[in-house]
Amino acid sequence: MKKYIINWGPPFLFLACIILIWQLSVDVFKIPLFILPSPKNIFSVFLSKWNLLFSDLGITMLESILGFMVGNLFGIGMAVLFVHSKFSERSIFPFMIALKAIPLVAFAPLLILWFGYGLVGKIVMAALICFFPAIVNTTVGLKAVDPEAMDLMRALFATRKQVLFKLRFPSALPYIFSALKISSTLSVVGAIVAELSGAQQGIGYTILQASYQIDTPLLFSAIIMASIGGILFFGLIALTEKKVLYWHEGLVG
């Protein structure tokens, strides 16, 4: 219990101070509602619009998680192909590194043109964002195998499948999880940006509507809701990593 207070006390206190200063500044300087609503104001809107925000978050998370799964599945699959075919790796991998560096969210309006206002465009956006970290990290991870362990496998005439499942894939897991953690938050970003470019529902849609109507308290509430979604998703992946990588000595950057 004491350890709990020592760990969580200071950040909690800091947050409380920030909220208090915010509340006081808004009250004292009489900042207009549409510029900066007070925490009290945001909180009451957050509660009254809870149903709307909650269903919006549901939509956005559905897009993010589906995109996350599709993007990572393709990324990891391609990496497995690369490791088994030098030719495909040599011809495709350099582009993957280059594409990883470009701001993929710039494609969002294009995806709206191609896939319309529905969920598909958003899922594609989230998947695209997840794809590149997955393919690059998994490729590196699958190849970062101890050469002596490879010798051991060779001496036993292990099949490619055995090498993949018994050696390469588990060795790559720390790298894969480091990509999953990055892309868990990025997938939510991708889905929201795609929603901002044109949607009929979702957190991004509500953010856009609130800004058109200069409903700043709703805007803040939507941002908070989106943050909760992103943090929970990241937390889930980080927790899974801890469970799966119990054997790992350190974390991969």
Partner 1 sequence: MDYARGAYALSASDLFHSYRSNDKKIDAIKNINFNIKNNEFVSIIGPSGCGKSTLFRIVGGLLEPNKGEIRCFGLSTHEALQKNMIGFVFQNPVLLPWRNVKKNIALPLEIIGNNSAFDKRIEQLISLVGLQGFEGFIPKELSGGMRSRVSIARALVTNPKILLMDEAFGSLDELTRERMNIELGRIFEETQKSVLFITHSIAEAVFLSDRTIVLSKRPATIQEIIEIDLPRPRKIKLKTEKRYIDLTQHLRDRFIPEAEL
Contact set with partner 1 (CB under 8 A): 146, 148-149, 151-158, 162, 166-167, 170, 173, 246-249
Rounded CA separation 147/157 (Å): 15
**40 vs 154, beta carbon nearer partner 1:** 154
**87 vs 247, beta carbon nearer partner 1:** 247
- Give the gyration radius of the chain's Cα atoms: 22
Give the CA count within 13 Å in the CB-facing half-sphere of 200.
6
Six-digit token pair at 143? 């190849």
Q: Least distance from C-beta 242 to partner 1, angstroms?
A: 14
DSSP secondary structure of 55-100: HHHHHHHHHHHHHHHHHHHHHHHHHHHHHH-HHHHHHHHHHHHHHH
| Nearest Cα residue to 241 out of 191, 185, 166, 181 | 181
**140 vs 150, beta carbon nearer partner 1:** 150
Q: Least distance from C-beta 246 to partner 1, angstroms?
A: 8
**40 vs 160, beta carbon nearer partner 1:** 160
**76 vs 210, beta carbon nearer partner 1:** 76
Q: Least distance from C-beta 232 to partner 1, angstroms?
A: 27
Q: Least distance from C-beta 156 to partner 1, angstroms?
A: 5
Q: Least distance from C-beta 151 to partner 1, angstroms?
A: 5
**143 vs 248, beta carbon nearer partner 1:** 248
**Contact call for residues 231 and 190 (beta carbons, < 8 A):** no
**49 vs 168, beta carbon nearer partner 1:** 168
Rounded CA separation 78/134 (Å): 9
Six-digit token pair at 97? 């590194």
Eight-class DSSP state of 201:
S
Alpha helix (H) residue ranges in the chain: 2-29, 39-48, 50-84, 86-100, 108-115, 119-143, 147-155, 160-162, 169-196, 203-212, 216-244
Q: Least distance from C-beta 159 to partner 1, angstroms?
A: 8
Q: Least distance from C-beta 158 to partner 1, angstroms?
A: 5
